[in-house]
């Protein structure tokens, strides 16, 4: 019956039905076939799926990112980044990546970061001589850092579904996110030097100090979020509310708060939140059926039949995630596969915090790859370029982040160093 259930979901998705509705409908068919459960259980399971304290962080982190964009706080981060990396060849490209890393410390959403970065930096890069395709590809790649560097909406969902510490997940994503950004900056340097991209901007200690002071309200938000969680001042869920409050305070300091901007941010949050929570609710049904049919044990037995090595199993899973990320929305993959793979990783002794960060990193690459990468669509639309031209320019950056992805498999210390140091398991 499990094969029929999964096949029906795939068929409905192939026919264009949104995956959340496909899972709900398929569950109803499954229950009707089994016959010993009332369909009212669907409503109960949906309610149970979203009745989670950690999930309360999702709307507030989305709202913080939207407020940051509407209050034009991104421009302050751009100026600070420019003061640091301005003297480098391809300076605006480096500014793009560095600003993406800073914004990732507030919103936790790759799509929101790509939109905010693109609206500010793509026009500026085009004026400075960068090709529109290059600007679109780099901005999408910078936006994909959003789910990796804390806070991260994908990590909140993973932690909620699998009962894993969100605080340790956040800390685990910090170093991989920074390495990811550095790999993109290496690509920017090599390409810009070869093509003579971008004017070199002068800087000075005075400019850096002024940019730092002007950007301090915005730059302090990630420090407040992560520092408060590590220090035990507030939980990851409470930190999302602190992020909104800190963004509002920063907007007031910059005198960019307005009723219209606030309402626009709230409206955009609702638009983004609806599909996310619907997916979480539908995935609760999916996970319930998979548990009842013992799908996790079957997948685990198959993987263990291939190899008992942790590294080999992780490489197989990462390869699968990279493949699926090119054809499915990344949140859907996380919600569907997370509960299925949990028994497998626990059986072979893989830390669920390490696996969660690795899974989020792998899926974040799907935000920039065709045919369904959301960051790709956002930046291509802003830059006015085709998917083909975009993908050609993306290849060097894509190769870099994939190399980093596999390095995380080989060297788990990159992920586990900060969680073990700052939030050790008692």
For position 277, what pLDDT does the model report?
81
Is the pLDDT assigned to residue 177 strictly greater than 90? Answer: yes
Using CA atoms, how far residue 363 sits from 36, 277, 407, in Å, is 37, 18, 15
Q: How confident is the model at residue 360 (pLDDT cuts 50, 70, 90)?
A: very high
One-character DSSP codes across 245-267: HHHHHHHHHTT---HHHHHHHHH
Question: Measured between alpha carbons, how far is 250 from 214 in angstroms, rounded to an integer?
Answer: 10
Which tens digits make up the pLDDT trace of 243-296? 899 999 999 999 999 999 999 999 988 887 887 788 778 877 877 777 777 766
* Exposed/middle/buried for residue 97 (C-beta within 10 Å: 0-12, 13-18, 19+): buried
Question: Measured between alpha carbons, how far is 34 from 396 in angstroms, rounded to an integer?
Answer: 50
6-20, 152-166, 263-277, 288-302: least confidently modelled range: 288-302
Question: Measured between alpha carbons, how far is 298 from 137 in angstroms, rounded to an integer?
Answer: 39
For position 296, what pLDDT does the model report?
65
Percent of the chain residues topping a pLDDT of 70: 98
Q: Which of 67, 7, 34, 368 is nearest to 243 (CA)?
A: 67
Average confidence score pLDDT of the chain: 87
* Exposed/middle/buried for residue 245 (C-beta within 10 Å: 0-12, 13-18, 19+): middle
Q: How confident is the model at residue 37 (pLDDT cuts 50, 70, 90)?
A: low
Dihedral of CA atoms 318, 323, 326, 330 in degrees, nearest 10, equals: -40
Is the pLDDT assigned to residue 20 strictly greater than 90? Answer: no
pLDDT, greater one: 161 or 351: 351
Q: How confident is the model at residue 315 (pLDDT cuts 50, 70, 90)?
A: very high
280 contacts 49 by C-beta, under 8 angstroms: yes
For position 134, what pLDDT does the model report?
96
Dihedral of CA atoms 360, 366, 368, 371 in degrees, nearest 10, equals: -160
For position 138, what pLDDT does the model report?
96
Q: Which of 413, 337, 409 is nearest to 154 (CA)?
A: 337
217 contacts 253 by C-beta, under 8 angstroms: yes
Question: Measured between alpha carbons, how far is 373 from 249 in angstroms, rounded to an integer?
Answer: 33
Query: Mean pLDDT, to the nearest integer, of 83-108?
Result: 87
What is the token pair recorded at 420? Answer: 């073990």
Torsional class of 350: left (φ above 0), alpha (ψ -120 to 50), beta (otherwise): beta
Question: Measured between alpha carbons, how far is 325 from 366 in angstroms, rounded to an integer?
Answer: 4
- Diameter of the chain by CA atoms? 74
């Amino acid at each position: 019956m499990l094969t029929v259930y999964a096949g029906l979901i795939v068929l409905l998705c192939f026919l264009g039905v949104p995956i959340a509705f496909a899972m709900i409908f398929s569950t109803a068919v499954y229950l009707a076939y089994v016959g010993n459960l009332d369909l009212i259980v669907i409503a109960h399971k949906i309610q149970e799926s979203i009745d989670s304290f950690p999930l309360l962080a999702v709307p507030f982190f989305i709202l913080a990112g939207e407020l940051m964009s509407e209050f034009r706080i991104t421009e302050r981060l751009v100026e600070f980044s420019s003061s640091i990396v301005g003297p480098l060849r391809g300076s605006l490209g480096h500014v793009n990546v560095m600003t993406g890393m800073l914004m990732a410390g507030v919103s936790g959403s790759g799509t929101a970061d790509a939109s905010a970065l693109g609206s500010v930096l793509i026009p500026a890069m085009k004026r400075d001589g960068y090709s529109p395709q290059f600007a679109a590809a780099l901005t999408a790649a910078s936006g994909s850092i959003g789910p990796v560097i804390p806070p991260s909406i994908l990590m909140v969902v993973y932690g909620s579904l699998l009962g894993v510490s969100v605080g340790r997940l956040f800390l685990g994503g910090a170093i991989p996110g920074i390495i990811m950004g550095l790999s993109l900056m290496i690509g920017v340097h090599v390409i810009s030097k070869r093509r003579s991209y971008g004017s070199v901007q002068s800087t000075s200690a005075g400019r850096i100090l002024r940019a730092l002071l002007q950007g301090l309200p915005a730059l302090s938000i990630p420090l407040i979020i992560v520092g408060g969680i590590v220090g035990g001042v507030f939980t990851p869920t409470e930190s999302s509310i602190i992020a909104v409050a800190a963004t509002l305070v920063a907007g007031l300091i910059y005198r960019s708060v307005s009723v219209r901007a606030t309402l626009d941010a709230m409206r955009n949050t609702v638009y983004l939140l609806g599909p996310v929570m619907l997916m979480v609710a539908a995935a609760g049904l999916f996970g319930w059926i998979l548990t009842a049919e013992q799908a996790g044990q079957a997948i685990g037995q198959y993987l263990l039949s291939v190899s008992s090595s942790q590294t080999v199993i992780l490489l197989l899973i990462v390869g699968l995630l990279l493949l699926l990320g090119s054809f499915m929305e990344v949140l859907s993959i996380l919600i569907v596969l997370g509960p299925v793979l949990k028994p497998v990783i626990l059986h072979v002794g893989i830390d669920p915090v390490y696996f969660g960060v690795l899974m989020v990193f792998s899926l974040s690459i799907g935000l920039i790859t065709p045919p369904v990468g959301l960051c790709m669509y956002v930046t291509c639309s802003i830059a006015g370029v085709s998917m083909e031209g975009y993908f050609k320019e993306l290849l060097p950056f894509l190769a870099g982040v994939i190399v980093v992805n596999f390095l995380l498999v080989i060297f788990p210390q990159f992920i586990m160093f900060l969680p073990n140091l700052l939030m050790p398991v008692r």
